Chain A
Amino acid sequence: MWTEIFTSLPFAFAISIIVAILIYWYGGKIGAKGSKTAIKLSQYACGEYFMAEKLQVNVERFFIYAVYFLIFDILAFMLATSLLSPGLVPAMYALITLLAIVLLMPFLRIKAR
């Protein structure tokens, strides 16, 4: 039973986190301890002064790519279920996916405002 634990995925993940925390703690031990002034703790903007806020970025032009990603990601992984029987049926499936992406391409032109 113990041999299976050492080569299982949760144990490997636990070891990786322990290694990362070890390096983090070692850096804390040998790191320099400076003083905390207000200027040092404010955000870095190459010397200028900005308000600390969570910026709202306008990504409206990329929303259509997120929808395409959602659809074609699922289609791509459906190919993984066809592994044991290669032949005409998965080729037709891939052909229909190809037609879909080619026909949807004119909609990918980003309109400049």
Chain B
Amino acid sequence: MVDEILQIVLLVSTCIFAVLTVEMRDLLHTVISLACMAVSLGGVFWLLKAPYVAVFQILVYAGAVIVLLIAAVMLTRRK
């Protein structure tokens, strides 16, 4: 029962963060919401009993890609 509630909560938060990524104005806010969406999706994979997929999802997205995106945010001209 707890697992199902947690799964629904994580799926809803994934959708919310995905919409926020596309709709926000400031570039750094979009990067943060992309990271939160990746972490929520990793949590869903964990609850579906796929631990290796969850670990690599969190590592590849929230670890490496966010570092690169922050570097890219700083190299682009703002306004």
Contact = CB atoms under 8 A, between A and B. Distances in A.
Q: Quick check: do A and B touch in the complex, using CB within 8 A? A: yes
Interface of A: 1, 4-5, 8, 10, 54, 56-57, 59-60, 62-63, 66-67, 69-70, 73-74, 77, 80-81
A70 B68 contact: yes
Contacts of A81: 52
Contact of A69 (B6, B56, B67, B74): B67
Contact of B2 (A5, A62, A70): A5
A80 B74 CA distance: 32
A66 B75 contact: no
B15 interface: no
B25 interface: no
